[in-house]
């Protein structure tokens, strides 16, 4: 079973982190938060966005990027950024890999990207748009990684409540 990891490097907006937390719960994905955070984890906004799913979230926080690396030695990390040379669809996401996203105002620091060019990935966009919303970006890349693993631990079929599909 593919167990994936989403990493948020210094997230700033509680609603984005709450939405991402909800997506992680829905997909069985672990969430890793690298401090400093632009909010407190007990804020109402994060709980509202994560709804009642937040209590079920597998979440770990780290003091900084180095603390994250020390506590996850040998982790295969993909760095999602608008500055990457390759698309997120060009890589094969391994089981237990980590997909990192940067803070909303600045992304992942360029010195980290420079050290990890081979695993830096981007979502294609047109024109001069700065970036997509963070929670949307996480969903796009995470679901591609899950698709590559045939959604192996997920419910693939929906059911009507009052009727049956023909």
Binding site as annotated, residues for S-adenosyl-L-methionine: 102, 123, 131
Three-state SS at 52: helix
CA dihedral defined by 37, 71, 121, 133, rounded to 10 degrees? -20
User: Binding site: residue ranges?
Assistant: 102, 123, 131
Q: What single-letter DSSP state applies at residue 74? A: T
Contact 2, 127 (CB under 8 A): no
Element housing 145 (H / E): helix 134-148
| Residue 56, both tokens | 């079920």
CA distance 19 to 38: 15
Name residue 94's beta-bridge partners.
Answer: none
Q: How far apart are the first and last CA of the chain?
A: 31
């Amino acid at each position: 079973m593919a167990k994936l990891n989403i990493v948020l490097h210094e997230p700033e907006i509680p609603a984005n982190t709450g939405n991402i937390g909800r997506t992680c719960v829905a997909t069985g994905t672990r969430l890793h938060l690298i401090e400093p955070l632009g909010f407190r984890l007990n804020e109402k906004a994060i709980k509202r966005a994560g709804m009642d799913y937040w209590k079920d979230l597998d979440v770990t926080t780290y003091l900084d990027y180095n603390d994250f690396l020390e506590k996850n030695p040998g982790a295969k990390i993909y760095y999602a950024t608008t500055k990457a040379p390759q698309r997120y669809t060009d890589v094969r996401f391994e089981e237990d890999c980590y997909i990192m996203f940067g803070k909303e105002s600045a992304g992942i620091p360029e010195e980290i990207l420079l050290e990890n060019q081979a695993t830096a990935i981007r979502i294609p966009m047109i024109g001069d748009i700065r970036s997509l919303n963070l929670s949307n970006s996480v969903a796009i890349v995470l679901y591609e990684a899950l698709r590559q693993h045939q959604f192996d631990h997920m419910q693939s079929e929906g059911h009507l409540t009052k009727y049956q599909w023909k």
